[in-house]
Chains A and B, each alone.
Chain A
């Protein structure tokens, strides 16, 4: 009984394999490129995964610029601007605490190094951002409405610009017209 079953199974499998082999040979003969797709699939997967990890140039430039304090001090203002590419870009400055602690007192050092930092690190990383607001203001063009109907009181000449609420202690108290 079991022997018969095994013989039948082997025959079935053999027939199936044979049919598949015949099909492959026929397809190879008729359509030679038919099996190239099989090879391309893994490549495509790899390619897609790679594409997902690649960032656009903007994203790449928005990564923080990491710089140590000594290098930063050596740079001129223009060089820093060039380094940041005139963008509102994050900046990480690594301060070597050991390089300036001798200049300050023990108490100041203790204040500077909070308990969780003490003895743990000789470097601290300060993150900042260089705003691009000033440059934007300089390049801001006057709109048609601003030309035809300039806003408020202002005196551009001789550096005596008058601003709204000039004596106001706080705009929260006084409000501001917009």
Chain B
């Protein structure tokens, strides 16, 4: 597996925003001003009606050290922090921002306030392993579909697996969660072996999962070939 790009490394801290300002000591415009000065956000709320946590108070295009901060969203129910480096970076920066905010912006933060957190990781990668040939039945079905469609359209078509995904039963869903998936990259020839993958785990875990998946597929191919 060769990583092509980290498209999204998002960390979400579930904390009610009012808990960060329990006594109303912090003034929202001052918080935004402080964050803009520290992280150099290029787009941030300026008008009063943009400070609406129900819709999400959004700061875009910041930077800290070598990490670009794509987006920060403050909602009533939590904080979202997006980078395109790794969720580890995103999490470290978010904790750093909260700690700094509690020291300089009259915010209230302690690590135990964050009871739940979530990750969204989206990556692009190349792999020479036949990642999507997880079951021989897919080839059988693909051949039958290809035959009929090619006859109907008088053009040669070959249907192949496009993706695999794992998700949760909607009946069990209490908090929405990113589906784990490995898909062919949209609009790219299958021969280029380029894939897009999403996972509800940290970037490091995501990369490890893809590598493990790749090894398992190669092992399966090797054992079926013998």
Contacts and interface: CB of A to CB of B under 8 A. Distances in A.
Interface of A: 141-142, 144-145, 147-150, 153-157, 162-164, 166-167
Interface in B109-148: 118, 120, 122, 124
19 contacts: A141-B55, A141-B58, A144-B77, A144-B176, A145-B176, A147-B12, A147-B73, A147-B80, A149-B178, A150-B8, A150-B198, A153-B196, A154-B7, A155-B5, A155-B7, A156-B70, A162-B185, A162-B187, A164-B186
Contacts of A147: 10, 12, 56, 73, 75, 80, 120
B192 to A, nearest CB: 14
A154 B187 CA distance: 12
B56 A142 contact: yes
A158 to B, nearest CB: 10
A160 B70 CA distance: 16
Given A144-B176, A149-B179, A157 B84 contact: yes
A162 B56 contact: no
Contacts, number: 56
Interface string B184-214: 0111000000001010100000000000000
Given A141-B55, A142-B73, A149 B176 contact: yes
B177 A148 contact: yes
A167 B185 CA distance: 12
Contacts of B185: 153, 162
B186 A141 contact: no
A9 B127 CA distance: 116
B119 to A, nearest CB: 10
B178 A141 contact: no
A149 B77 CA distance: 15
Contact of B56 (A141, A148, A149, A154): A141
B16 interface: no
B186 A166 contact: yes
A149 B10 CA distance: 11
Given A142-B56, A142-B73, A150 B187 contact: no
A11 to B, nearest CB: 81
A150 B198 CA distance: 9
B166 interface: no
B186 A149 contact: no
B175 interface: yes
B157 to A, nearest CB: 12
Given A147-B75, A150-B122, A162-B187, 8 more contacts: A147-B12, A147-B80, A147-B120, A148-B177, A153-B183, A153-B196, A157-B70, A164-B186
A144 B120 CA distance: 13
A162 B176 contact: no
A155 B7 CA distance: 6
Contacts of A167: 187
A166 B189 CA distance: 12
Contacts of B7: 154-155, 157
Given A153-B183, A153-B185, A148 B118 contact: yes
Nearest to B122: A150
B186 A153 contact: yes
A109 B182 CA distance: 59
B210 to A, nearest CB: 16
A174 to B, nearest CB: 12
Nearest to B77: A144
Contacts of A166: 186-187
Contacts of B77: 144
Nearest to A155: B7
